[in-house]
Copies of this chain bind each other. A is one copy, B any other.
Amino acid sequence: MARNLGDIARRLNGQLDGDPTVEIHGLAGLFDARAGDLSFVGELRYVPYVARSRASALIVGLDFPTASIPLVRVAKPALAFESLVDWFRPERTTPIAGISPQASVAASAVIADGAVVHAHASIGEHAHLGASTIVHAGVRIGAHVRVGRDCVLHANVVLQDHVRLGDRVVVHSGTVVGCDGFGYRPGKAGLEKLEHIGAVEIGDDVEIGACVTIDRARFGRTTIGRGTKIDNLVQIAHNVQIGEHCVIAAQTGISGSTTIGDGCVFGGQAATAGHVRIGRRVTAAARAGLTKDVQDGAVMFGIYAGPVHEKRREEAALRKLPELLKRVRELEKKLGIADSGGVAEDG
């Protein structure tokens, strides 16, 4: 897979400062590069880190200073770097074709031509798999599940009964779609389970990370709109409705029956309360907790979130609070007011 630096410079139509015979074995970022790796510097503020990088060569901009390692100078270093992905992509094994004899496929399941089912996967009764869909080892597909075409279900994904996926959906390992929602009512002998007879529907071009949990609806359906991307370890509760083209970062939790409009972005470890209505193109910062309805286009910040400008002002004010306590005590002294109510200021 090695390429020499001369070939790389020619391919990028770049200007080489250094030895063209240097061999490059892989691509890496400036900080994680090792000997044999080619990296890049897209912005001049990273120049001070170059001396510490272990990369064997760099793709840099035309105005980059000289360095102790070989440089390939181009107009747009980041784009040039990315264009090399095809050359350096690690070897992929020829994919297995067809249905593994070690898979378990129900007699009534329908598997389109070109779909692949790996060993130790299970396909339930009346399930449908679309053309060219790949089901990796250990995937569990329940009864009456429908998976579109060109989907990839990575190893050990679980789709419970009646879940529906559109086309080109990717689900990463360990993710569970269609588990029961979390709902009980008080009964004589303790909590009684509310039966969840709804489904989960996932639109085209959705990607779902690893170890994500998506609950089925009590009635009706939990839905994830077309083009939405969900990161690892996210919780989506029963009856949630997520719009199209949303981005939800890792470890976020969306509580039951909440609706989220198109084009929303959630940072990591964010959350919503249940039954709230989030508009379109809302941004929730990392760890934002949306406890009430949110209007279209709002940018929300804070554990009990509000508009970002308000919450940041509160956060800045909080940093001054210990000093403020002292200042108020000074004012009270000046006005002859004794320490009020036995509240000590310096605990």
Q: Which of A9-17, A66-74, A230-238, A292-300 contacts B (4 or more CB under 8 A)?
A: A230-238
A154 contact set on B, CB distance < 8 A? 158, 160, 179
Interface check A51, CB cutoff 8 A: no
A313 contact set on B, CB distance < 8 A? 322
Shortest beta-carbon distance from A310 to chain B in Å: 8
Mask for A325-347, Cβ within 8 A of B = 1, else 0? 11110111011010011010101
Interface check A20, CB cutoff 8 A: no
Shortest beta-carbon distance from A175 to chain B in Å: 8
Which of A199, A323, A332 is the most central at the interface, judged by chain B CB atoms within 10 Å of its CB? A323
Interface check A61, CB cutoff 8 A: no
Query: Are A155 and B332 touching (Cβ within 8 A)?
Result: no
A39 contact set on B, CB distance < 8 A? 220
Query: Are A31 and B257 touching (Cβ within 8 A)?
Result: yes
Name the prevailing secondary structure of the A interface residues: loop
Shortest beta-carbon distance from A264 to chain B in Å: 13
Interface check A149, CB cutoff 8 A: no
Shortest beta-carbon distance from A344 to chain B in Å: 8
Interface check A136, CB cutoff 8 A: yes
Query: Are B330 and A321 touching (Cβ within 8 A)?
Result: no
Select from chain B the residue with minimum beta-carbon distance to A268.
Answer: B253
Shortest beta-carbon distance from A116 to chain B in Å: 14
Select from chain B the residue with minimum beta-carbon distance to A220.
Answer: B28
Interface check A91, CB cutoff 8 A: yes
A: interface residue count bin = 35 or more
A138 contact set on B, CB distance < 8 A? 120, 122, 138, 140, 156, 158
Select from chain B the residue with minimum beta-carbon distance to A325.
Answer: B317
Residue from B172, B211, B320, B337 in contact with A330 in the complex, judged by beta carbons closer than 8 Å: B337
A337 contact set on B, CB distance < 8 A? 330-331, 334
Q: A122-B138, A174-B211, A315-B304 are in contact. Are A197 and B85 (CB under 8 A)?
A: yes
Select from chain B the residue with minimum beta-carbon distance to A184.
Answer: B229
A232 contact set on B, CB distance < 8 A? 176, 179, 182, 213, 215, 235
Query: Are B286 and A104 touching (Cβ within 8 A)?
Result: no
Select from chain B the residue with minimum beta-carbon distance to A155.
Answer: B140
Residue from B143, B189, B335, B347 in contact with A93 in the complex, judged by beta carbons closer than 8 Å: B143
Q: Which of A182-217 contact B (CB under 8 A)?
A: 182, 184, 189-191, 193, 195, 197-199, 205, 207, 209-211, 213, 215, 217
Q: Which of A163-179 contact B (CB under 8 A)?
A: 172-176, 179
Shortest beta-carbon distance from A74 to chain B in Å: 17
Residue from B182, B198, B210, B314 in contact with A28 in the complex, judged by beta carbons closer than 8 Å: B198
Select from chain B the residue with minimum beta-carbon distance to A182.
Answer: B231
Query: Are A251 and B235 touching (Cβ within 8 A)?
Result: yes
Shortest beta-carbon distance from A191 to chain B in Å: 6
Shortest beta-carbon distance from A82 to chain B in Å: 8
Query: Are A227 and B190 touching (Cβ within 8 A)?
Result: yes
Shortest beta-carbon distance from A119 to chain B in Å: 4
Interface check A8, CB cutoff 8 A: no
